[in-house]
Structure 1
Amino acid sequence: MAARPLADVAVGDVVGPVTVPVTRETLVAYAGASGDQNPIHQDEDVARSVGLPDVIAHGMWTMGAAGSVVSAWAGDPGRVVEFGTRFTKPVVVPTSGASIDVEGAVRTVDAETGRVTLDVTVTADGQKVLGRCVAVVRLD
């Protein structure tokens, strides 16, 4: 995939919105790949026993899914040089599945360094699930 040219990017440009689905199967696969086998991500009885409404997605899955939207926008995952966030709310994943909505806006464009800073918003069911989510992407 071709990288997005810096000349085609301006402050205020919008990324997305992109909806990323998540199912219980997604969580089982992520648990296997990450080694995070905490049962709150797979067993609704355990999740409810600790006060959660249902199974929740791994925070790092949520962050990674948001990062994949930024990578797709940049045209190359290697162009994402910084990505940080705070986890504000869990993504609840009932048996029917769920989704996150990812969108962003270009905050700064630095022609000297070829870097673009994006403010990224990630929500599930209309609630912000990642806060202070910022990506820095090298485009040139």
Structure 2
Amino acid sequence: MITPVEVGTELEPLTVRFTRETLVRYAGASTDFNPIHYSERSATAIGLPGVVAHGLLTMGSALRLVTDWVGDPAKIDNYRVRFTNPIVVPDDADGATMIVTGRVTGVDGDKVTIQLDAVCDGVKVLGAAKVDVDLGR
């Protein structure tokens, strides 16, 4: 069990980098071949500022902050987010960087609630991101 856990405990921040290669690999693994994830023309045609990362890739990558902290993904009871802004991934070697931070907002025995904040280029990309964890599992 992770100790001590109390309301206000901050998790170590996580930095995640997305490149066009990341998007191609995720598209293959998820079979989500929507052209907004690889074609500038398709993305801008529907009003996006450019090629964007898959929402579930963004969501799953942010959850790594908690799974790394608890050491076992099976301890996750619930995870919910709102997608507030897409991550635009430029066609260059650097890509886009998401910074994920988290803090404990509730503790009830072994049950812990963690709020995540995910930001890319100073813009919040996930809103209302909450993770419920069972540390006793």
Q: Same fold (TM over 0.5)?
A: yes
Q: 1:58-101: per-residue Cα shift (whole Å, max 9, x none)?
A: 00000000111210011111111110001111000001201111
Q: Deviation string for 1:23-77 (max 9, x for gaps)?
A: 1011011111111100000111211121111100000000000111210011111
Is the aligned partner of 1:91 residue 2:87? yes
Q: Percent identity?
A: 48
User: Matches of 2:64 and 2:77 in 1, distance apart?
Assistant: 13
Tell me the amino acid that sits aligned with residue 93 of structure 1. Answer: V
Between the aligned partners of 1:53 and 1:31, the Cα distance in structure 2 is: 20
Matching residue's letter, 1:63: M
User: In structure 1, how many angstroms separate the alpha carbons of the residues matched to 2:67 and 2:78?
Assistant: 11
Q: Which runs of 4+ in 1 moved over 3 A?
A: none
- In the alignment, what sits opposite 1:108? 106
Aligned pair 1:23/2:19, yes or no? yes
- SS of structure 1 residue aligned to 2:47: coil
Matched AA of 2:20: R
Letter in 1 for 2:6: A
User: How far apart are the structure 2 equivalents of 1:36 and 1:54?
Assistant: 17
Scaled by the length of structure 2, the TM-score of the pair is 0.94
TM-score by length of 1: 0.92
In 2, the alpha carbon distance for the partners of 1:126 and 1:7 equals 32
Shift of residue 6, structure 1, vs aligned partner: 4.5
| 1:64 correspondence with 2:63 | no
Would you say the 8 A contact 2:13–2:65 is kept in 1? no
Distance 2:17 2:25 in 1: 14
In the alignment, structure 2 segments of 5+ residues that lack a partner are none
SS state of the match for residue 27, structure 1?
helix
